[in-house]
Every structure is written in structure tokens, then in C-alpha cells.
């Protein structure tokens, strides 16, 4: 209840600022006695990379107002009054941007989440393996990663449910953004090792079988909730499909190579009608970029970031005999506009998410409209359906904010301070620098 | 490039020429065809390379905006803004290439946006760039793909197990002479590994050093005494460790592989006690004891992205730090940087191998290393450690003409090498090779995007000195 009140309170503030041109006297004061009533935080910066899904992406000479763990307002200094009682943090020449979001993380806890019970295990939950303040994740925080999708491995076709968590809060309950946060599907290139070995035809048969039953299960519940039919029996194997069919979460798909990416789009998105995104999408998967975008299948790319000449490496993708093709650039050139980056941490260490965007740009990904910054923030947030809480600097969203010395795709740009929900969780000025 | 766009470029050089540089006075002038033919049989023609149209970063801290560089037979003979004289070049008439008594190539980098010339990078160590093994004069594979990719990355020299070699690629058509096998290896063994892992190995190293130091004291005394008594016998080297003797005589570097601070402190102490400069590879906790290493004149070869948590059983600081290179540098330790993966990695995960050496340096800069020290960490410092600092690592008169032309700051993550020159020969042109040509292609490339034709926007051409067909049309200048 109090949370709701707070939310309404900050929304009111945001609205007040937006509608009145924000002079100090018009800002709704905090109710005395509430946490944070003494005021919020105002961050001054040369450049705020706000990166909302739509609209202007950058505010120069900006003020970011934070209160009660939420972003209250973002605007140019000249037009944004800092309410009385707010602490002021001047970021100087540094930039401010939303915390980064990685949708392929295996380091939010121990790696005991790749149980290969059946060939499809939609009931297994990664949330049970989360370890707050896990070492590898702490370094990730220092690399600016504030939200992750912690997912099972790709040892089976459906490894289980991912969980969306904040990276630097002390308990699981505080970390959790959404559970289940996704369902992990692996279509090829790992599940083959299940039991005595399975091939693509059986894997696709079995995946279809699981998805058909899951979708049917979700539809029975939908019908029941509309008041049609009897209450179905609860089946923990298929509960996750109810969240999927409501597009509250999506299928994250270990898919790569043109043929398999096509299979993801055709089988999961088109045939089953289940919301899905490409996770990996590498080798020559980029060749399917146009049909993926057309089908509303976002592309979250990594940890491989280039498609290399195959002649002397592995010939199974069969494309690209001679050039070194940037994976992200490939999707972009095919017209895809919802491209994000992942690390598959620890394959790429969690703290190097920003380099994934940098390598993308090096190999031809166009960042003219901050596509690379968006690919680290709002695109993955939208893809995982947590864009109402994280992924951009917009009033009402969680105050997951980074102070960074320059463009986040540049490995030389150092993350100087990290806020998660308004709390300063990393500050190398007062604690040992981690990255 | 080079491709000698004869008229235009020659005119340009001709304009730049003046008869002022005495260095060329002695170069042979070939007057008639017969003599030229004779000369050709005797010895190869002199080979000139002019680099112009870009900012020259010498690697010593100087930057020559739109400077020029002239190389002769693979060595740099002039850098600056002065006009270069190429002997025998007749400015009054266009001399056909086959009538010239020399070869001239002009690398006009003005087609490279934000073009910069840097010294070719020196990899302290690498694997698989030369194709062969053992003696690279015999085994180098000059057609090797990884060598091409190394050159594309801007690396022109690399340390090998016991030698230092150049990435000398064979480019058909570029050479009118035989492949220079003897030019491949430019340095021998300069580092001798000293085992420093266990208490026993440390004791052994110390004993050998003490023995060598004692011998040197005796030897020096003998040097004095022998002047009085010619019969005096030179002290015996029996029992003296020859490697440590070479280390103390400054003939070879003692190379330690060490990461932990107590090991590093020990190296610093032994180096100061016996008076030599240690080379430390790894050096993960160097930042904790940087002052000791600095005082000992240590030199470090490290990977900025090394990760290791602090040992929680120790009270003292420890573990890896992204600031390692920066802290060591600020304490006077010379830092060379190598990536975690020494070969060319075509597994699909880019950014961690020798092909992305500048990105590894970028992480040291993230930790606070100044840009100039970052450049030095892949040029002068490794060149010094490999004993080839007098030949490569900077662009200076007298040094080898190993250089790269980039499309921006070498240490920026998007920068590509456009041209690579080794020993005065162009061995890599991004637009001529398959791998990266399609990424931000140069305007002069066939891959460059077509610009839609808009007659209203066609600029009026201003003709240069060379006669063009439409020269009359561009005459809107005031007379």
C-alpha cells in the first residue's frame, strides 16, 4: 500500500514538472514522515543518454531527479528546477545513462541450473539458484550492468525458466524484478548431447510437442478466466506458458545459424504464436534479420560478435566464405531495428557487456541514433517486458543510473558510479574499484 | 594506392621537391638506358616510398599534422614538412617508370578520413602469425592468412620464443625483387627466464646471482691487476652461471613470470641488490607493490583484463586491478601490453585476441593509463624488451619503415588499419583484401556506397597542374 502511495506520489511530481514548467514552488513536496521525505537526489551532467523507446534520446546539460528509488524527472538544467532539500551530485564532464540490461547471464548465482531431466523442462526455475552479491556479478555491477536475465543452460531443448533480477541488492526478494522472467529454449547446437544424443528432427518434434501442450494449457486457463469452462488442473510444468501467452515474459532462444534462426521465427513466433526473441543469433543468423524483424522477433546478440570465414573453421553454417561480418551489423543491414547485446556471462565476463556493443560498432553496427546504447538498455528491457521499470531514464522508472566517462561502447569509458533503485551500489571513490 | 596514379602524384611530388637535402647527393644518378640496364643486373634499384596526406604520429610524442615521410630501401630517411628530393627524378618531364633508375611508390593517405600514420605495432609475443616455427628465415609462410590478419591489426613485428621477427608478407606484383628471407628475423634471444615459483627456485636464483656478482668483482679486479702483471690469469668462470652473468653484464634481460605481491617484492629486492632490471610477465598484483617495482627499474608485460579476486585470507590488498597498468606506469615501471589470447581467434568472439591488441590497451586506459603510455605499451616498450628498439617501435630517421595508416586514433575501438607498410613495402591495403573491406569502405573503393547523382550539386572542378580533358571548363577564377 505504502509502495503504491509512493508511486502515485512520484508520478504526481513527474506530472507536475511536466505540465507546469517546474518551478520549485509548484513541485509537490514529499509528505512528512515518509522515507525520503528529506528530499531526493539531483544528478547534474553534461549529457544524459535517456534512450526511451520513442522520442528524443539525449538531453545535454541535464538534471536527473531521483526520489524514492524512482526517476522523478529528466530535463535540461535551464528548465528543470531542483526542489529544495535535494542533495546535488555534480557528475562534471561525465555522462549519465540508464543501467545496462543483459538478457543472457549465468552468473547471478551458482551454475547448478542446467539440469537435464527431460529433453524439455519448462517447470525448472533458475530463481532457486540465485545467490545475492555473487562475486562474478559484483564485477558486472562495476561494468554498469544493473539488470540481468539469469537463465538455465542449453543442455536440453527447454532448460527451464529464467528470472529477471537486479544485480546489486542484498536479498533475493529485493533483487527480483520478475519471476518467471523468461523460458529458455535451445533449438540446436548443445541439446544434442542429451542422453545418448538427439538430432534436429527429434528435437523439433519434441519442442513442438511441449509448446503445443503448453499453449493449450494456457488457453484453457484463459478460457476459464473469461468464465468459460471448468477450472483446469494446475500443472507446474506448463504454468510458465500462461505468462508467455499474456506476453508478460518471452521465450529466450538459444538459436544460431540462418536455418535455425528461421526455425525459431517459423515455429515459435508464427506457428505457435508464442512471444520469442533471438538469443545468440550468431554465425550467419543475421541473414534472417529481415524476417525476424517482420515477425516481431527481437535480436539479442552474443557472445559471438563476428561471423568469420568458414572455410577453415566450421563449415556447418555454410555461408560467408571470405569476409569478417559483424553479427549486429548484419542484422541491422537486413533492416532489423530491435537489436541488443548479451554476454552469455561467464563466456564473456559480465562486466564486458559494453564491449559487446563496441565490437558491434567496430564491425559496422551503425550508432548514429544511439543504437548501440539502446542495445545495452531499452531494447533488452523491452524485449524482456520490463521496460516499464528499467532500460531508460524516464520519469516513473526505477532509478538504475550510471555515471560513465563517455560512450558506453568504448572500452575506455569507465563506469564511475552505479545507482540501483536510487541506492548507490558502487562507488569507487569510497570502495575498491572493481573494474 | 601506390598504384602510382602517375601523373597526378608525380606532379605533386615534383612540386614538393627541392634540391636541398644533401643526404641524397651521393645516390647514383642513372643517365642512359644502357647504364640503367647494366645497373639493374648488378644490384637492385633503390626503392623509395613517400607517405603523405595524413598526420604522422612518430611514437615519440610528436605529431606532424599532414606531415611527410620518405623511406629509401626500407629505412626512413626523412620525416617532416620539408620537400623531399628523390634523386634522378626529372621534374621537367614525365619519366616513364621503366626508365627511372629507381622505384618510387607514393602512399597518398589523403583518401583516408582522419588519416593517421603510426609506427607498426610490436607484439611482445604472439602465436601463429608467421606460419612456421624454429628459424623463421627457413619456415616463414609469407602467404599465411594469420599474417595478413596480423598486419591488418597493425602488427609489424612480433616476439617469438627465441627471436624477434617481422610480418613480411609476400605481395605478388609489388616486388620486382626476390623475397627477403634474411630480413624476417631481426633479433635474437633477449630474455632469459628465471624460475621464481618456489622457495627452492628463488634460493637457487639468488645463489646464481651471488656467484655471478662475485665473479664480476674478481674479474674487474683482475682487469686492474693485469695491467701491472701481464702474466696474471683471467679468473675462471667455472661454477659461474653464464645466464646470470649475462644478466648482470646487461647483455640479456632476466625474465620472471610472477603474479603475487610477495613474489614481485622479492624480484624487486633481488634486482636492486644485484643491480639489474627485471622483466616481469604477468605482474597481476604489481599495483600493490608498484613503488618497489618502480625503484627496481622493473619492466612489466601484462594483460589489463586479467581477473583474479583478492585472497580473502590475506589482510593485505591483492588480486587483479583494472588500474594495474596505470599504477605501475605512474611508479616508473615500463609497461608492455599483450592480450589474453596471443593468436588470431576466428571462433567468432572478437575483442580478446592479438587482432584486437589496441582494445586490450583500451582497458588499461580505462584504468587510468595515459594514451601515450598506451601507445608505448605496444610499440617502444616491447621493442626495447625484444632488443629491436633501435630498428622498430617509432618513426625516426634511420629506423625501419614499418608503419600503419589508420582511420583515426589507433586506440579507439572503431579504428581500422587502412594500410600497413613493412620495410618500405606496402603489404596490406584494407580495400584490397577480403576481410574488412566491406566495413566503412574508403571512398576510393569499389565497395563505397554509390552517391546519387544530383547535377545541381556537382562542384566545379579546379584543375591542378596536370592537363585534364575538361580543364577549360573549370575557369571561374579571377584573372
Query: What band does B176 get if pLDDT is binned at 50, 70 and 90?
Result: low
Within 10 angstroms of residue B314's Cβ, the number of other Cβ atoms is: 12
B115-144: average pLDDT: 92
CA A51 to chain centre: 14
Of B309, B349, B438, the CB nearest to A323: B438
Distance CA A131, CA A109 (A): 4
Q: What is the pLDDT of residue A113?
A: 82
- Mutation for B interface: A324, A343, A346, A363, most B CBs within 10 A: A324
Q: What is the pLDDT of residue B453?
A: 59
Distance CA A421, CA A28 (A): 21
pLDDT tens-digit map of B47-69: 999 999 999 999 999 999 999 99
* Three-state secondary structure string covering B408-450: CCCCCCCCCEEEEEECCEEEEEHHHCCCCCCCCCCCCCCCCCC
Q: What is the pLDDT of residue B36?
A: 52
Task: Give the closest-approach CA distance of A143 to chain B in angstroms.
Answer: 11
Under a CB-based contact definition with an 8 Å cutoff, are residues A28 and A65 in contact? no
Q: What is the pLDDT of residue A138?
A: 93
Buried b (16+ CB within 10 A) or exposed e, A211-237: bebbbebbebbeeeeeeeeeeeeeeeb
Distance CA A230, CA A250 (A): 27
In the DSSP assignment, the letter for residue B477 is S
Hey, is the C-beta of A137 within 8 angstroms of any chain B C-beta? no
Q: Looking at the predicted structure, is the pLDDT value of residue B81 above 80?
A: yes
Q: What is the pLDDT of residue B312?
A: 85
Query: What band does B298 get if pLDDT is binned at 50, 70 and 90?
Result: very high
Q: Looking at the predicted structure, is the pLDDT value of residue B26 above 90?
A: no
Distance CA B295, CA B318 (A): 20
Environment class of residue A413 by beta-carbon count within 10 Å: exposed (0-12), middle (13-18) or buried (19+)?
buried
B441-454: average pLDDT: 76
Long-range contacts of A260-263 (CB under 8 A, 24+ apart): A260/A187, A260/A188, A260/A189, A260/A285, A261/A285, A261/A288, A261/A292, A262/A288, A262/A291, A263/A187, A263/A188, A263/A204
> In A, which residues are within 8 Å of B366 by CB distance?
411-414
Architecture of domain A100-391: Alpha-Beta Barrel (3.20)
Residue of chain B with shortest Cα separation from A404:
B366
Residue of chain B with shortest Cα separation from A303:
B349
Distance CA B165, CA B216 (A): 33
Residue of chain A with shortest Cα separation from B324:
A435
B194-200: average pLDDT: 96
Angle of helix B199-228 relative to helix B261-274, nearest 10 degrees, comes to 10
Which residue ranges does chain B devote to CATH 2.30.40.10? 1-119+396-467
Architecture of domain B191-385: Alpha-Beta Barrel (3.20)
A vs B, Cβ pairs < 8 A, gives 87
pLDDT tens-digit map of A359-399: 999 999 999 999 999 999 999 999 999 999 999 999 999 99
Q: Do A309 and B435 touch (CB under 8 A)?
A: yes
Question: Which percentage of chain A shows pLDDT scores above 70?
Answer: 89
B188-198: average pLDDT: 96
CB within 8 A of A1, min separation 6: which ones? none
Tell me the ipTM for this assembly: 0.89
Question: Which percentage of chain B shows pLDDT scores above 70?
Answer: 82
Q: What is the pLDDT of residue A433?
A: 93
Q: What is the pLDDT of residue A114?
A: 84
Of A305, A411, A435, the CB nearest to B350: A305
Under a CB-based contact definition with an 8 Å cutoff, are residues A397 and A70 in contact? yes
Q: What is the pLDDT of residue B79?
A: 96
Q: Where are the domains of chain A?
A: 100-391
* pLDDT lower than 70: segments of chain A: 1-38, 310-321
Kind and range of the H or E run holding A299? strand A299-301
CATH number at B1-119+396-467: 2.30.40.10
Q: Do A410 and B413 touch (CB under 8 A)?
A: yes
Residue of chain B with shortest Cα separation from A347:
B349
Residue of A193, A139, A196, A188 whose CA lies nearest to A168: A139
Residue of A278, A421, A411, A300 whose CA lies nearest to A351: A411
Amino acid at each position: 500500500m505504502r509502495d503504491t502511495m509512493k508511486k502515485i506520489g512520484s508520478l504526481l511530481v513527474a506530472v507536475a514538472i511536466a505540465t507546469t514548467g517546474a518551478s520549485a514552488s509548484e513541485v509537490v513536496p514529499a509528505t512528512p514522515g515518509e522515507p525520503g521525505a528529506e528530499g531526493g537526489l539531483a544528478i547534474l551532467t553534461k549529457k544524459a543518454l535517456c534512450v526511451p523507446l520513442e522520442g528524443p534520446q539525449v538531453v545535454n546539460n541535464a538534471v536527473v531527479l531521483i526520489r524514492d528509488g524512482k526517476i522523478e524527472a529528466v530535463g535540461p538544467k535551464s528548465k528543470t528546477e531542483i526542489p529544495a532539500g535535494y542533495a546535488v551530485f555534480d557528475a562534471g564532464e561525465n555522462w549519465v545513462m540508464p543501467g545496462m540490461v543483459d538478457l543472457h547471464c549465468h552468473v547471478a548465482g551458482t551454475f547448478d541450473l542446467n539440469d537435464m531431466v527431460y529433453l524439455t523442462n519448462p517447470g525448472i526455475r533458475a530463481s532457486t539458484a540465485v545467490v545475492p552479491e555473487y562475486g562474478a556479478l559484483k564485477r558486472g555491477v562495476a561494468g554498469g550492468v544493473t539488470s540481468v536475465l539469469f537463465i538455465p543452460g542449453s543442455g536440453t531443448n527447454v532448460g527451464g525458466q529464467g528470472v529477471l533480477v537486479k544485480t546489486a541488492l542484498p536479498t533475493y526478494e529485493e533483487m527480483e524484478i520478475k519471476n518467471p522472467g523468461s523460458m529458455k529454449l535451445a533449438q540446436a547446437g548443445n541439446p544434442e548431447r542429451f542422453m545418448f544424443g538427439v538430432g534436429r528432427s527429434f528435437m523439433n518434434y519434441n519442442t513442438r510437442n511441449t509448446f503445443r501442450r503448453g499453449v493449450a494449457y494456457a488457453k484453457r486457463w484463459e478460457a476459464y478466466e473469461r468464465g468459460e469452462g471448468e477450472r483446469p488442473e494446475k500443472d507446474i510444468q506448463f504454468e510458465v506458458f500462461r505468462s508467455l501467452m499474456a506476453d508478460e515474459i518471452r521465450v529466450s532462444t538459444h538459436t544460431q545459424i540462418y536455418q535455425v534462426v528461421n526455425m525459431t521465427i517459423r515455429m515459435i513466433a508464427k506457428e505457435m504464436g508464442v512471444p520469442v526473441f533471438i538469443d545468440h543469433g550468431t554465425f550467419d543468423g543475421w541473414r534472417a534479420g529481415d524476417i525476424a524483424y517482420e515477425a516481431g522477433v527481437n535480436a539479442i546478440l552474443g557472445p559471438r560478435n563476428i561471423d568469420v570465414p568458414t572455410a577453415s573453421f566450421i563449415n556447418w553454417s555454410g555461408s560467408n566464405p571470405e569476409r569478417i561480418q559483424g553479427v549486429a551489423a548484419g542484422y541491422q543491414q537486413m533492416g532489423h531495428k530491435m537489436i541488443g547485446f548479451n554476454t552469455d556471462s561467464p563466456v564473456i565476463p559480465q562486466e564486458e557487456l559494453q564491449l559487446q556493443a563496441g565490437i558491434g560498432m567496430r564491425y559496422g553496427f551503425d550508432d548514429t541514433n544511439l543504437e548501440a546504447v539502446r542495445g545495452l538498455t531499452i531494447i533488452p528491457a523491452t524485449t524482456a517486458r520490463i521496460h516499464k521499470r528499467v532500460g531508460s531514464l524516464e520519469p516513473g522508472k526505477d532509478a538504475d543510473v550510471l555515471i560513465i566517462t563517455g560512450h558506453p561502447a568504448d572500452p575506455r569509458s569507465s563506469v564511475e558510479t552505479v545507482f540501483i533503485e536510487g541506492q548507490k551500489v558502487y562507488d569507487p571513490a569510497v570502495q575498491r574499484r572493481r573494474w | 594506392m601506390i598504384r602510382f596514379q602517375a601523373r597526378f602524384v608525380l606532379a605533386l611530388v615534383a612540386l614538393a621537391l627541392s634540391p636541398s637535402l644533401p643526404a641524397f647527393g651521393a645516390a647514383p644518378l642513372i643517365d642512359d638506358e644502357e647504364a640503367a640496364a647494366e645497373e639493374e643486373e648488378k644490384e637492385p634499384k633503390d626503392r623509395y616510398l613517400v607517405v603523405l596526406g595524413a598526420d604522422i604520429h612518430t611514437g615519440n610524442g610528436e605529431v606532424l599534422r599532414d606531415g611527410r615521410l620518405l623511406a629509401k630501401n626500407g629505412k626512413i630517411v626523412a620525416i617532416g614538412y620539408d620537400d623531399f628530393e628523390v634523386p634522378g627524378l626529372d621534374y621537367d618531364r614525365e619519366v616513364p617508370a621503366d626508365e627511372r633508375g629507381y622505384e618510387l611508390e607514393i602512399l597518398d593517405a589523403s583518401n583516408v578520413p582522419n588519416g593517421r600514420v603510426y609506427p607498426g605495432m610490436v607484439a611482445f609475443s604472439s602465436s601463429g602469425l608467421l606460419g612456421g616455427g624454429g628459424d623463421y628465415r627457413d619456415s616463414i609462410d609469407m602467404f599465411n592468412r594469420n599474417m595478413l590478419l596480423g598486419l591488418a591489426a597493425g602488427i609489424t613485428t612480433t616476439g617469438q620464443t627465441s627471436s624477434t621477427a617481422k610480418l613480411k608478407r609476400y605481395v605478388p606484383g609489388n616486388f620486382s625483387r626476390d623475397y627477403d628471407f634474411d630480413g624476417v628475423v631481426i633479433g635474437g634471444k633477449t630474455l632469459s627466464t628465471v624460475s621464481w615459483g618456489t622457495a627452492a627456485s628463488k634460493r637457487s636464483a639468488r645463489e646464481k646471482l651471488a656467484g655471478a656478482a662475485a665473479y664480476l668483482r674478481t674479474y674487474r679486479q683482475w682487469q686492474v691487476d693485469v695491467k701491472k702483471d701481464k702474466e696474471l690469469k683471467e679468473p675462471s668462470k667455472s661454477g659461474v652461471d653464464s645466464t646470470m652473468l649475462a644478466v648482470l653484464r646487461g647483455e640479456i634481460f632476466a625474465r620472471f613470470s610472477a603474479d603475487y605481491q610477495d613474489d614481485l617484492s622479492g624480484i624487486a629486492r633481488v634486482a636492486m641488490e644485484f643491480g639489474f632490471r627485471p622483466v616481469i610477465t604477468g605482474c597481476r598484483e604489481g599495483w600493490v607493490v608498484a613503488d618497489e617495482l618502480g625503484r627496481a627499474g622493473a619492466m612489466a608485460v601484462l594483460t589489463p583484463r586479467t581477473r583474479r579476486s583478492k585472497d580473502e585470507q590475506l589482510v593485505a590488498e591483492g588480486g587483479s586491478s583494472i588500474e594495474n597498468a596505470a599504477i605501475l606506469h605512474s611508479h616508473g615501471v615500463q609497461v608492455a601490453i599483450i592480450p589474453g589470447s596471443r593468436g588470431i581467434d576466428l571462433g567468432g568472439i572478437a575483442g580478446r585476441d592479438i587482432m584486437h591488441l589496441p582494445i586490450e590497451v583500451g582497458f588499461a586506459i580505462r584504468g587510468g593509463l595515459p594514451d601515450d603510455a598506451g601507445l608505448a605499451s605496444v610499440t617502444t616498450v616491447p621493442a626495447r624488451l625484444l632488443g629491436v628498439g633501435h630498428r622498430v617501435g617509432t618513426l625516426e630517421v634511420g629506423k625501419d619503415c614499418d608503419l600503419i595508416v589508420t582511420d583515426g586514433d589507433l586506440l579507439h575501438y572503431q579504428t581500422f588499419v587502412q594500410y600497413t607498410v613493412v620495410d618500405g613495402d606496402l603489404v596490406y591495403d584494407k580495400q584490397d583484401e577480403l576481410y574488412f573491406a566491406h566495413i566503412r569502405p574508403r571512398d576510393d573503393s569499389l565497395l563505397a556506397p554509390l552517391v546519387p547523382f544530383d547535377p545541381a550539386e556537382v562542384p566545379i572542378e579546379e584543375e591542378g597542374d596536370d592537363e585534364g580533358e575538361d580543364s577549360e571548363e573549370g575557369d571561374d577564377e579571377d584573372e
